[in-house]
Structure 1
Amino acid sequence: MRIYDQRKSCGGAEIQEQNKAIMHQLGGRKCSFLFSLGVVTCSIIYWLSRTKLVGTPTSSRPFITESKPNLAGTEKRENYCQNGKQINKLALPKNVGNYIHSTNLQCSNLSKELHFINTTLSREEENYPLAFIVTIHKELDIFVRMLRAIYMPQNVYCIHVDANASHEYKEAVQKLVSCFDNVFLSSRSEKVTYAGFSRLQADLNCMKDLTASPIAWRKVINLCGQDFPVMSNLELVQYMQSTEWRDKNMTPGIKQPATMKHRTQFQHHEIVGSHVALRLPRHKKPPPPHNLKMYFGTAYYALTRDFVDFVLKNQIAHDFLEWSKDTFSPDEHYFVTLNHIKEAPGSRIDGGWEGAIRAIKWRDQEGKAHDGCKGHYVRNICVYGIEDIPWIIEKKSMFANKFEINTFPEALDCLEQWHRNKVLNQATVPINPSWLR
């Protein structure tokens, strides 16, 4: 696997577009929807004959093992979509921002009408609550859909809204999260600059907030606003507890290659809201503190609670954080480097790119790791089209990136319905009709 397979895929993406000095806007190519899309029929079979549907189940409802028919499209790839057009039973109101802002909207109605699952679906999930950090700044529709896909009442969610986001956007997110006891906004909001220290600081702000949560979460996973889950919550829990990852941190990455050393050898400065630039004339940085060996990897992770405490309280972590403030894209070296030292709880000293963090189609991996982008490339990353969905599902990663509503809405419709079907198939409690449509 090449070192770029799991690079940062979003976070400050809007600002990234402005940073032409760092990343060149690449022309995208759109796939034609006039030929066969390779994925046919998305007929969703709901339990029309089911008579045991409940009104509003609670997390205190006993867990039971039910024999229930499979929802179509959960296993067979050819059933994902119908003639290239997804019939989305979970469709949002046309303008979700206006809907959330409605003055007469009650939280109970919002949760029901937006199809949030309000019951813990299995004892296994109840016993292993997860924490999520979600950094967002645009694409409200995708955020709402992603949040309801990952939402479970036993988990906890910290939402970091970029300080540069519009007032209307912030208000809509604030009103939405206020309807859930286990979802909250980060206590401190950063003006996130792509590849800047502010991106790392946003995650650390949420980590500090999450440690104060009364929910005894076991691991924390970070996401950005153009991600969408592939694994169900139950599958995430099982993956986190697998032999390979039980009590271990997942920070895919390798020893810092020569092509990346310029990021940490020379001082950089963050031009807030714009980009990160090399300080001129060049100022060489001292070696990292505590003789740390530098690593390079993905900006996304799954970390144990003990490791988070280590990051927030340990002197090694603190000194390394200070040293990293004038580096380029510190979020791609900070956690992975700390995860390779023996002092860190749950560390993987000999770890590499292991960990199914993201399904991403990089342009430079076309013909090697994937068969090309069926949507179009933006900054070398595929914005998925509907024909990419089979590859995403077969990849079996935790999450997929990236999606856009304005360009290829059918892709997200398709994956969203497939994911919800799988989640409900795995449930051990009666199914509420509002979770279906």
Structure 2
Amino acid sequence: MGLWKQCLFVLVLLITLIFVLFYNHKLLVQKSIQRKTVSNSAELAQVCNQIIKGETFLFNKSVLRTSDRVITCRQQLIQNHYITKTLSEEEVKFPLAYIIVIHKDFETFERLFRAVYMPQNVYCIHVDKKAGLEFYVEVKGFLNCFPNAFLASKMEYVVYPGISKIQAELNCMRDLVASEVQWKYMINTCGQDFPLKTNKEIIQHLKRFKGKNITPGVLSPEYMIWRTKYSHEEHVGPVEFFVNRTQTLKTLPPHNLTIYFGSAYVALTREFINFVLQDQQAIDLFQWSKDTYSPDEHFWVTLNRNPGIPNSLPNMRAFKIRH
């Protein structure tokens, strides 16, 4: 009986010890989370204060979450092997402008930016207003390290099948035409894109079009006519962002324009962009397109395929690239 009591006592002692250890561990985890939360709040407040003061800084996600370590711009450029000097005279004489529309995944955006970055180019970054404050602050701090890159002066809540996608790009276009960089072509991208060619290879390809816009597309296929035949409504927040089709028929396109469908990602000349921002034909087409579905897939190509518009290609199939 004495041995049985001793075993029972040891068992009770072990159970008690395990419970105490588990409880202490839980307390330590909770305190650690609280400390990190307070640290993150302090870091975020510090970053916002630096933005307001116009100071140059750079935080990455690990810094915001776990430490007070600051990565300087110089460290960022060196560690990630950014090109900081022009590589050829040809590239110097043919600067490009980029529009990058993003809403998430800072690391993916940073890889894209590093791949297309050249000191002679200029970059406008549009951060979707749906993105969180932390993401915006991270992008803002990152861009402070590059004198030829900046955030769009006006941000939009972007619904990708809606007109807000074009509006976001138009906001960047206004900023880019005001830039001191005399860029030759504007290329639009999103945060999940990645280039397959070098900057030099890209400009050599663009040169073959001899100052013409590049907007791949075709006449409206039968199965896509509904996009511009019926009126659509763009719903913006607070929880859901989507485009809904109605049964209301749209009016004919303005100025007797023929609608084409094609890629939303294009390469446009400065003259064409000035036309888009100022000419009544483009302004009216934009207004008409506001209640269409995915208007960025017809807006650029429609303008570029209609004659009388700067650097347009009304008959792109007949246009041959000479090497």
Q: TM-score range by the shorter chain?
A: 0.7 to 0.9
**Match of 1:421?**
none
In the aligned structure 2, how far is the partner of 1:155 from the partner of 1:354?
28
Q: Does 1:144 align with 2:149?
A: no
**Match of 1:250?**
214
**Match of 1:199?**
165
Deviation at 1:105, TM superposition (A): 2.6
Match of 1:267 among 231, 238, 246: 231
Deviation at 1:278, TM superposition (A): 1.1
The letter for the 2-side match of 1:267 is: S
**Correspondence list, 1:161-172, <5 A:** 161-172=127-138
For residues 208-231 of structure 1, give each alpha carbon's deviation from its aligned partner in whole angstroms, at most 9, with x where no partner exists: 110010000000001111111111
**Match of 2:243?**
276
Identity between Structure 1 and Structure 2 (%): 46
* Pair 303,100 (structure 1): closer, same or farther in 2 beyond 3 Å: farther
Deviation at 1:266, TM superposition (A): 1.1
In the aligned structure 1, how far is the partner of 2:282 from the partner of 2:275?
7
**Match of 1:338?**
303
Match of 1:299 among 264, 272, 275: 264
Deviation at 1:353, TM superposition (A): 12
Alignment root-mean-square deviation, CA: 2.0
1:267/1:285 contact within 8 Å kept: yes
**Match of 1:157?**
123
* Pair 222,341 (structure 1): closer, same or farther in 2 beyond 3 Å: same
Deviation at 1:106, TM superposition (A): 2.0
Q: TM-score, normalised by structure 2?
A: 0.76
For residues 167-194 of structure 1, give each alpha carbon's deviation from its aligned partner in whole angstroms, at most 9, with x where no partner exists: 1111110001111110000111111112
2:63/2:69 contact within 8 Å kept: no
State which structure, 1 or 2, has the greater radius of gyration over its C-alpha atoms: 2
**Match of 2:280?**
315
1:254/1:351 contact within 8 Å kept: no
- 3-state SS of 1:228 partner: coil
* Pair 174,334 (structure 1): closer, same or farther in 2 beyond 3 Å: same
Deviation at 1:246, TM superposition (A): 1.5
In the aligned structure 2, how far is the partner of 1:199 from the partner of 1:109?
34
In the aligned structure 2, how far is the partner of 1:241 from the partner of 1:171?
37
Q: Specify which structure has the higher proportion of helix.
A: 2
Q: TM-score, normalised by structure 1?
A: 0.57
**Match of 2:26?**
none
**Match of 1:24?**
none
Deviation at 1:270, TM superposition (A): 0.3
In the aligned structure 1, how far is the partner of 2:140 from the partner of 2:276?
28
In the aligned structure 2, how far is the partner of 1:139 from the partner of 1:316?
37
**270-279 vs 160-169, which deviates more?**
270-279
- 3-state SS of 1:179 partner: coil
Q: Does 1:111 align with 2:71?
A: no
- 3-state SS of 1:339 partner: helix
- 3-state SS of 1:109 partner: helix
**Match of 1:412?**
none
In the aligned structure 2, how far is the partner of 1:322 from the partner of 1:352?
29
In the aligned structure 1, how far is the partner of 2:276 from the partner of 2:231?
23
- 3-state SS of 2:171 partner: helix
The letter for the 2-side match of 1:284 is: L
* Pair 299,162 (structure 1): closer, same or farther in 2 beyond 3 Å: same
Q: Does 1:288 align with 2:280?
A: no
The letter for the 2-side match of 1:249 is: N
State the number of aligned residues: 258
**Correspondence list, 1:370-409, <5 A:** none
Deviation at 1:99, TM superposition (A): 4.8
In the aligned structure 2, how far is the partner of 1:302 from the partner of 1:219?
6
**Match of 2:96?**
130
In the aligned structure 2, how far is the partner of 1:354 from the partner of 1:299?
20
* Pair 173,107 (structure 1): closer, same or farther in 2 beyond 3 Å: same
Deviation at 1:110, TM superposition (A): 1.7
In the aligned structure 2, how far is the partner of 1:323 from the partner of 1:354?
29
Deviation at 1:97, TM superposition (A): 2.5
The letter for the 2-side match of 1:293 is: T
Match of 2:182 among 212, 216, 222: 216
* Pair 350,290 (structure 1): closer, same or farther in 2 beyond 3 Å: same
Deviation at 1:196, TM superposition (A): 0.7
**Correspondence list, 1:49-60, <5 A:** none
In the aligned structure 2, how far is the partner of 1:147 from the partner of 1:112?
15
* Pair 266,125 (structure 1): closer, same or farther in 2 beyond 3 Å: same
1:158/1:210 contact within 8 Å kept: yes
